[in-house]
Structure 1
């Protein structure tokens, strides 16, 4: 049985952040909550030097495209529910 890999990249805006420290706190909460809720690998991969922007990647592996896709979609919905209006754009791929 072949494994299926899912990759999700989310660009987020953090309008309340007025410093890198505030931004990092918000990003850390998002990363930790995604890891805990969905058992996925998560990392900030872009815009580390900007106060109000971040790019977060989520990766998951499974045996079914349907399950992997569902996990990625639920991750997007979760971020949107945690911080309404923060998600600017997202892109996902399944291999």
Structure 2
């Protein structure tokens, strides 16, 4: 089973693309410990917006949902950004 999720993010405190990329790359690296495929997929040239998409593959729907919840919490608990929209695919 495959579970894919896109997160649309607002990074209100960022004042440059360099600052945004530092935050996003940090969170992407932290997410990789959950063995997911993850990338910045949208708003690449906008300094205060981002779109992150990640996918989880396993034979258990409950495992997939557990990993999705952990990654969403990782992003949601970061004070430097806000989740604007969660898109489940």
- Normalised TM-score (structure 1): 0.87
CA RMSD of aligned residues (A): 1.3
Alignment of 1:17-32 (within 5 A): 17-32=14-29
SS in 2 for 1:27: helix
Out of 80, 83, 86, the residue aligned to residue 79 of structure 2 is 83
- C-alpha deviation, 1:56, in angstroms: 0.1
The answer for the alignment partner of 1:51 in structure 2 is: 47
Q: Mind listing any 5+ residue stretches in structure 1 that lack a counterpart?
A: none
Which of 63, 66, 69 is 1:70 aligned to?
66
After the TM superposition, which parts of structure 1 deviate over 4 Å for at least 4 consecutive aligned residues? none
Q: TM-score of the superposition, structure 2-length normalised?
A: 0.92
Number of residue pairs aligned between Structure 1 and Structure 2? 89
Q: Which runs of 5+ in 2 are unaligned?
A: none
CA distance in 2, matches of 1:51, 1:64: 37
